């Protein structure tokens, strides 16, 4: 009996780590989120049109299925504690139905604090009630953003000056509470932690059912911020696995303040990182270049590869960086990056990444096979540019 019990337990633990506790996010989640473009002005109509555009542009069929309403949808709580929407979102259930009717999934946003980052009502003290309401609306994804809960943490720190973990324990308990509330609804709801990497959520997130967790503070549509976040992910690869992923924040591709080469660098880094791919642009105004970056099939396949391994830095030399990501079938994705302000050559030695006898090389952005190569492969990259290669035997 003892042997049997510990065997089942081992099996249970195995299934938790392989698929996540709710069976979701076997691959890094893909979709669209309202924040990076619409921020606090988002409306029901914007979200419906994003759902339409996901279908008409081919984004849905490329894998972008979550339609996530970020902060600022909330109104006031009534005497029963029920949170109502504000006038920009007249009927969340109808919005969810519309999104589902397009073959897409519906995401929403809240905070463990009394207030969200935008100053709207958070879920503090109403976790189970809110989770049930989301489930009744058909919600498939919750982003849970720390925001004003940092005040509660500061208070815990002040009240327990000798306990170095007081704030951290309180925060983890708050995230566990909503995780449990989501589970109790019986509806599989993808759980996305957003607390900017405070206290290493990659270490405790999986234990409370998180499917992804932000690793850093917010991205913005600038090359400097994007690479600061992207290249700071070195060393985190061991914490990502099917069911739960590191999240270096949403995509800025198409928002207009980076060059095409810089957006290719952004997408190259994010797919090497097996990051959730949540587009954050106005889908009704995508240029051909935005589409070709966001919908490059090989790039998406690197992100979504069935091996489920995050990539990591191979080496860094001044402004040049080489990152690799192991792929299924013994293949390897290679990201070559030029962070300098001039054209530079960046190389990778195939022998150093497991291809002593050479391999077939495909250039993802050029969409062309470079044929059988051996030894050092060199790419000439424009300033802030990247090459993305897939090497196979």
What is the binding site for ligand GLA (CB under 6 A)? 35, 70-71, 116-118, 145, 194, 218
Is the Cα torsion angle 347, 352, 353, 356 positive or negative in sign? positive
* 75, 27 contact by CB (below 8 A): no
> Least distance from C-beta 369 to ligand GLA, angstroms?
38
189 closest CA partner among 131, 251, 269 = 131
- Measured CA to CA, the distance from residue 139 to residue 302 in angstroms comes to 28
Quick one: 35 or 263, whose CB is closer to ligand GLA? 35
Question: Parallel, antiparallel, or unpaired: how do β-strands 245-247 and 368-373 relate?
Answer: unpaired
Alpha helices (runs of H) in the chain, residue ranges in sequence order: 2-19, 35-38, 44-56, 59-62, 92-101, 127-137, 149-159, 166-184, 201-204, 223-231, 260-272, 288-294, 297-303
Which residue is catalytic, options 44, 46, 145, 290? 145
Active site residue 218: yes
Q: Residue 105 CB, nearest distance to ligand GLA (Å)?
A: 18
Smallest separation (angstroms) from ligand GLA to the CB of 153: 16
Q: Is the dihedral of CA 42, 45, 50, 53 positive or negative?
A: negative
Q: Tell me which residue of 131, 200, 212, 133 sits closest to 171, measured CA to CA.
A: 200
Identify which of residues 195 and 324 has a Cβ nearer to ligand GLA in the complex. 195
Residue nearer to ligand GLA on the CB measure, 199 or 349 = 199
Catalytic (active site) residue 140: no
Using a 10 angstrom Cβ sphere, with 0-12 exposed, 13-18 middle and 19 or more buried, the burial of residue 37 is buried
Nearer to ligand GLA, 27 or 37 (CB): 37
Cβ proximity to ligand GLA: between 52 and 218 the closer is 218
Q: How far is the CB of 198 from ligand GLA (least distance, A)?
A: 12
First to last CA, the chain: 47
Of 199, 218, 220, 319, the catalytic one is 218
Length of the chain: 393
What CA dihedral angle connects 350, 62, 368 and 221, to 10 degrees? -70
**Least Å from the CB of residue 356 to ligand GLA:** 44
We find the least distance from the C-beta atom of residue 29 to ligand GLA, in angstroms, to be 15
Q: Are 221 and 266 in contact (CB under 8 A)?
A: no
Nearer to ligand GLA, 109 or 365 (CB): 109
Q: What is the DSSP string of 177-218?
A: HHHHHHHHT-S--EEEEESTTTT-HHHHTGGGT-SEEE-SS-
Minimum CB–partner distance for residue 145 and ligand GLA (Å): 5
Q: Which is nearer to ligand GLA, 225 or 383 (CB)?
A: 225
Strand 83-85, strand 141-145: pairing: unpaired
Which residues lie below 8 Å from residue 15, measured CB to CB, with a gap of 6+? none
Active site residues: 145, 218
């Amino acid at each position: 009996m003892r042997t049997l019990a510990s065997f089942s337990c081992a099996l249970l633990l195995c299934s938790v780590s392989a698929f996540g506790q709710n069976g979701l996010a076997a691959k890094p989640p893909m979709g669209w989120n309202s924040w990076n473009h619409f921020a606090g002005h988002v409306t029901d109509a914007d979200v419906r049109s994003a759902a339409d555009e996901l279908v008409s542009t081919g984004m849905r069929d490329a894998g972008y299925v979550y339609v996530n309403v970020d902060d600022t949808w909330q109104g006031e709580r009534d005497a029963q504690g029920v949170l109502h929407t504000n006038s920009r979102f007249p009927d969340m259930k109808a919005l969810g139905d519309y999104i589902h009717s397009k073959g897409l999934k519906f995401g929403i946003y809240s905070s463990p604090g009394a207030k969200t980052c935008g100053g709207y009502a958070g879920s503090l003290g109403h976790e189970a009630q809110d989770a049930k309401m989301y489930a009744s609306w058909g919600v498939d994804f919750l982003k849970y953003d720390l925001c004003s809960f940092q005040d509660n943490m500061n208070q815990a720190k002040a009240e327990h000056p000798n306990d170095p973990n007081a704030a951290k324990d309180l925060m983890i308990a708050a995230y566990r509470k909503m995780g449990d509330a989501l589970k109790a609804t019986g509806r599989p709801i993808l759980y996305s932690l957003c607390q900017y990497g405070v206290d290493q959520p990659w270490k405790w997130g999986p234990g409370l059912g998180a499917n992804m967790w932000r690793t850093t503070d917010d991205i913005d549509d600038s090359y400097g911020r994007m690479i600061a976040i992207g290249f700071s992910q070195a060393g985190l690869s061991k914490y990502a696995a099917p069911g739960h992923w590191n999240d270096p924040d949403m995509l800025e591709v198409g928002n207009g303040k980076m060059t095409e080469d810089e957006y290719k660098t952004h997408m190259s880094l994010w797919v090497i990182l097996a990051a959730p791919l949540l587009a954050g642009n106005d889908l009704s105004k995508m240029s051909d270049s935005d589409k070709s970056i966001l919908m490059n099939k090989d790039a998406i396949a690197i992100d979504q590869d069935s091996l489920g391994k995050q990539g990591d830095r191979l080496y860094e030399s001044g402004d040049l960086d080489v990152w690799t990501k192991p792929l299924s079938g013994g293949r390897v994705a290679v990201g070559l990056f030029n962070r300098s302000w001039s054209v530079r050559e960046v190389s990778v030695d195939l022998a150093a990444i497991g291809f002593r006898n050479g391999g077939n090389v495909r250039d993802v952005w050029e969409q062309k096979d470079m044929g059988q190569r051996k030894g050092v492969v060199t790419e000439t990259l424009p300033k802030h540019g990247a090459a993305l290669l897939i090497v196979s035997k």
